[in-house]
Amino acid sequence: MSAILDWVVAHLCRWLPRATATGLVRLGDPDEHSPVLVTANFSLTVARVRRALRGRNVWLLVANSGGINVWCAAAGGLLTHHRVVDAVKTSGLAERVAHRRLILPALSAPGVETEPIRAATGFRARFGPVSARDLPGYLDGKEKKTEAMRRFDFGLAHRVDMFLSMNFPVYLAVAVVLVLFWPQHLFGYTILFWSAVTFLYLFLDVIPGRTGWGQALGSAALFAGVWAGVDAAVRGDPRAHWGWLLATFAIFLAAGLDLAGTASPRRSDSEVWLHRLGLGSFGGLFSERDLGTITLDRDQCRGCGSCLDICPVAVFGPPDLDGKTTLGDRDACFACHACVTQCPEDALGLVEQLPRPPQRPE
C-alpha cells in the first residue's frame, strides 16, 4: 500500500512534497574511489536517479530539500549549499571515500553555491547533467558534459511527464465536490477538463499569446465560441449551455495556471504574479527574487564559463575575442537565477525591465 501511495503522490500530485530518507545510499557496490552524486530527497527524484544508475557502483548523497524536487527546492531556498554541507557531515562521507569530489544536479545551481561547500567540507563540487537519464553517459565520458546534457528539454516528452502531475490535483478537487453535490455533471466535467488540458499541452507552441494564461484564455474563447455556435444552429439559442460555457473558461484558466513555467521555457506566470503582489513566499513553493532581464558587466567578467555551463536554456553564447561571455539569446532567459548565483565575479544580474515611455511622433 505504501508503494502505491508513493507512486500516486509522486506522479499524480507532484505539487505535494513527498520526502524520502536523507543520507548516504549505496548503489551497487561502491568503494572509496567511486563517484558521489548529490540529489534532493523528493521520492520521485531519488527513484529516477536510482533507475538511471542501475548496475553502477556509485554513492548517492540525498540532501534534505523538504521533499520537493531539485529545481523547485533550489529556486525556493529549500535546497542550498547549507543542506549539502549538512548531508556531507552527517553521513560520514569523508570516511567512506578517498577523493573529495561531489557531482551536483545541474538544476540545483539557483540555490547551491560550490565554494561554501569546499570551505566547509573540503569537497569540490561540480554540476552534472540536467537530466538523470544522462548520468551514465556523463560518468562514462569522464564527467564531461555535452551540449545536450546542459540543456533542459521542454518538448513533448516533458509535457507528457507534467500532464497528469500538474493537472490531476485540480481535476480531483472539483470532481470530489461534484460527486458530493452534483454527480450528474461529473462525466461532462471529466470530458471537458481533460479535453481542455490536452488541447493546451499539444498546441502550446502554436496557440497565440505571450503567457500561459493568455493562451488559455484564447483557447477557452475558441472552445466556447464553437460550442455556442453549435447551440445557436441546433437549438436556436447560443446560451443553451451557458453554465458549461462559464465552466470552459474556468477550466482553461486553471489548466493554464503555470503553463509558462512547466510546459515551456518561459517565466512562470504564477511566480511573476506573486512577485508583483509583493509576496515573498507561498508555502515554500515560490520565493520572491528578481524576475527582471539578465544583464552582463563585461568589466567584471573573467571568462570562467560557469554561466555557459549551467544555463539550462542556452541564454549565453560563445566567448568573444577577449574570452569573455556573451549574451546569445537574452529573450530565452526565464530568470531561474542559476547564472547569477554561480558567477564568481558578480558580473551577472537581473534587473527589472521598465516599460518604455511612449514615443513622440516626429
The answer to whether residue 357 sits within a structural domain is no
Task: Evaluate if residue 97 carries a pLDDT over 80.
Answer: yes
Q: For residue 57, count other CB atoms closer than 10 A to its CB.
A: 14
218 and 319 in one domain?
no
The answer to whether residue 94 sits within a structural domain is yes
> Cell match 502550446: residue?
204
pLDDT > 70: what percent of the chain?
Answer: 87
Residue ranges in the chain assigned as alpha helix (H) = 2-12, 43-52, 70-75, 81-91, 93-96, 114-121, 135-140, 147-150, 156-181, 186-203, 212-234, 242-255, 259-262, 269-277, 306-310, 338-342
135 and 33 in one domain?
yes
The answer to whether residue 359 sits within a structural domain is no
pLDDT score for 2:
62
* Model confidence pLDDT, tens digit, residues 296-324: 998 999 999 999 999 998 899 888 888 89
Task: Evaluate if residue 33 carries a pLDDT over 90.
Answer: yes
Last residue of one domain, picked from the residues 150, 174, 189 = 150
φ, ψ dihedrals at 334, nearest 5° = -120, 30
* Model confidence pLDDT, tens digit, residues 347-357: 998 876 544 34
237 and 205 in one domain?
yes
| Contacts (Cβ under 8 Å, ≥6 apart) of 200 | 207, 215, 216, 219, 252, 255, 256, 259, 263
pLDDT score for 282:
45
pLDDT score for 284:
42
Cell numbers representing residue 271 in the block: 511566480
Q: Which domain holds residue 321?
A: 279-351
145 and 198 in one domain?
no
pLDDT score for 133:
94
123 and 13 in one domain?
yes
| Contacts (Cβ under 8 Å, ≥6 apart) of 267 | 260, 261, 291, 334, 335
How far is Cα 304 from Cα 284, in angstroms, rounded to an integer?
Answer: 32
16 and 145 in one domain?
yes
* Average pLDDT of the chain, as a whole number: 87
